[in-house]
Amino acid sequence: MDIQIVIGAVIGIIVGAIIAYFIVKSLQSKSANSIVAEAKKDAASIIKEAKAEGESKKKDKILQAKEKFIELKSEHEKVILSRDKKLADAEKRTRDKESQVSSELSKNKKLNKDIEDKVKDYDFRNEYLVKKQEEIDKVHQSAVKQLEVISGVSAEEAKAQLVETLKESAKTDAMALIQDTIEEAKMTAQQEAKKIIINTIQRIGTEEAVENCVSVFNLESDDVKGRIIGREGRNIRAIEAATGVEIIVDDTPEAIILSCFDSVRREIARLSLHKLVTDGRIHPARIEEVVKKTRKMIDEEIIDIGKRTVVDLGIHGLSPELIKMVGRMKYRSSYGQNLLQHSREVAKLCGVMAAELGLNAKLAKRAGLLHDIGKVPDSETEVPHAILGMQWAEKYGEKPEVCNAIGAHHDEVEMTSLLSPIVQVCDAISGARPGARRQVLDSYIQRLKDLEEIAFGFNGVKKAYAIQAGRELRVIVESERVNDDKASNLSFEISQKIQTDMTYPGQVKVTVIRETRAVNIAK
């Protein structure tokens, strides 16, 4: 009984499981069918959208292809039109060339025909002239025989008499010709001299060397200006006191101006500033040290300039003292014209002119270079510069011709050689070039020098600098010899002396500077 119950339960479980399986399977089938239906629906929608998008892109591509085709077609048409135009131009040029060639051929044919006609005419005339010459010779021989019979003299004897007569006539004509030639030479001598001078001037081209009174010192940046000025201006005052040059610091970008009529002082200040700015240490003690070294360097540079000048001009055997004077010419001016540039130009002019006249060109160059060495000294002398230069040339062993040319180029002494007038003429040529000299600048510089000379005429004056275009005279005195009271009196006395002895525009400010220094050395 129990076994039947168990078997019945097992069978019931198995049947229930089978029924449950079929029920689950039926439900899964329904769910799968719905999912497939939805998937088919989504796929159809996606396919539809894809087809629509594909049609849109297809239309766009077709439109782009059409536009590209039209563009390419337009470019192709342009190329074809350009080629057609070029072909048309080439055909036109070819037709023009053919027309020109045919025209030239017709001209050549005409010229050939004209030449042939002229050749025939020439041959005909030549034959005619030959016949005429033969007839003339026969007539001449007949006439000579008749003359011999009439005169009783043979043709050879008549020739001899004619030659004798012609000799006498030729002598007379020759004497007259010589006299005319001499007179013509006298008349054209001046023209020939002018021709030589003009040729010389044309062969010597030179720059105008007008000296200015200012130099521009370029800076790498405007920051350096503050270091040059220093605290409360002590550096710039130290530079001005050491060099005698006025330093103008304004709004000019990356530049300061050095103003002084003396080019040596200006050059010392420029080189000193360059060293100070390069080194970077700018203070009063360093400034005085650099200025002192720069002065020595300028002396060495003067000698080097003199040597280079004589080498460039091909002058040999010049005394070392004269070489030094030639170098100093670079820092001197005459009527605003740089003295060294002027002397070099005169030397070259003298060399060319002496060569044109067949004289010693090297000696002429030597005289031309040295003709103004009398202007080199700083101090004024009563002796004219030409005489002073001649005396120096004689002292240092120059030849008499050179010495005379130096002394006579302003007619201070009588000319004794042909070099003297050459030097005089070349000096005038160099000074007469347009823009070479400025009388006003020279008188201005002389006035500043006179201002300084007046200050040096008083006791205790150590240095004197005319600055601000002569509107201020800065005088530095020796503190041991001049006290504060004397410094005040000295300023008054110098101002009165300037007022009495000089003529000047405006006012002149006289500043007397007295500085006391106590120096000891620790060992």
pLDDT in tens, 349-392: 888 888 888 888 888 889 888 888 888 876 556 788 888 889 88
* pLDDT of 210: 45
Question: Could you report the per-residue pLDDT of 189-245, keeping only the tens digit for each?
Answer: 555 655 555 555 555 555 444 445 667 777 777 777 777 878 888 888 888 888 878
For the whole model, what pTM was predicted? 0.47
Q: What is the mean pLDDT of residues 458-483?
A: 83
Q: What is the Cα Rg of the chain in Å? A: 55
pLDDT band at 467 (very low <50, low <70, confident <90, very high): confident
**Confidence at residue 209, expressed as pLDDT on a 0 to 100 scale:** 43
Nearest-angstrom CA–CA distance, 438 and 445: 11
Nearest CA-CA partner of 472 in 503, 512, 440: 512
Cα gap 64→332, rounded to integer Å: 86
Distance of CA 184 to the CA centre of its chain: 46
Residue with the bigger pLDDT between 203 and 91: it is 91
CB atoms within 10 A of CB 264: 18
Instruction: Reply yes or no on whether the pLDDT at 59 is more than 80.
Output: yes
For 504, list phi and psi in degrees, rounded to 5.
-155, 155
Q: Which stretches of 357-483 are DSSP H helices?
A: 361-370, 385-395, 400-408, 419-432, 439-456
Other Cβ atoms less than 10 A from the Cβ of 377: the count is 15
Q: What residue type is assigned to position 183 of the chain?
A: E
Phi and psi at residue 464, to the nearest 5°: -145, 130
Averaged over 92-110, what is the pLDDT?
86
Q: Which residues make Cβ contacts (< 8 Å) with residue 471, sequence separation at least 6?
A: 506, 507, 508, 509
Phi, psi of 465 (to 5 degrees): -130, 125
CA distances from 36 to 25, 30, 31, 32, 48 (A): 16, 10, 9, 6, 18
How confident is the model over 314-338, as a mean pLDDT? 82
Question: What is the pLDDT at residue 47?
Answer: 82
> Helices 320-328 and 385-395 meet at what angle, rounded to 10?
150
- Cβ-based neighbours of 354, under 8 Å, separated by 6 or more: 360, 361, 363, 364, 365, 419, 422
The answer to whether residues 215 and 266 touch, using CB atoms and an 8 Å cutoff, is yes
SS3 annotation, 173-204: HHHHHHHHHHHHHHHHHHHHHHHHHHHHHHHC
Contact call for residues 425 and 480 (beta carbons, < 8 A) = no
The predicted-structure confidence for 131-157, as pLDDT tens digits, reads as follows 888 888 887 777 767 766 676 666 677
Q: What angle do CA 513, 514, 515 make, to 5 degrees?
A: 115
Q: Specify the pLDDT at position 69.
A: 86
Distance CA 512, CA 459 (A): 13
**Residue 268: predicted pLDDT:** 85
CA distances from 455 to 120, 239, 433, 450 (A): 103, 21, 37, 9
Give residue 247's region: left, alpha or beta (phi > 0; psi -120 to 50). Answer: beta
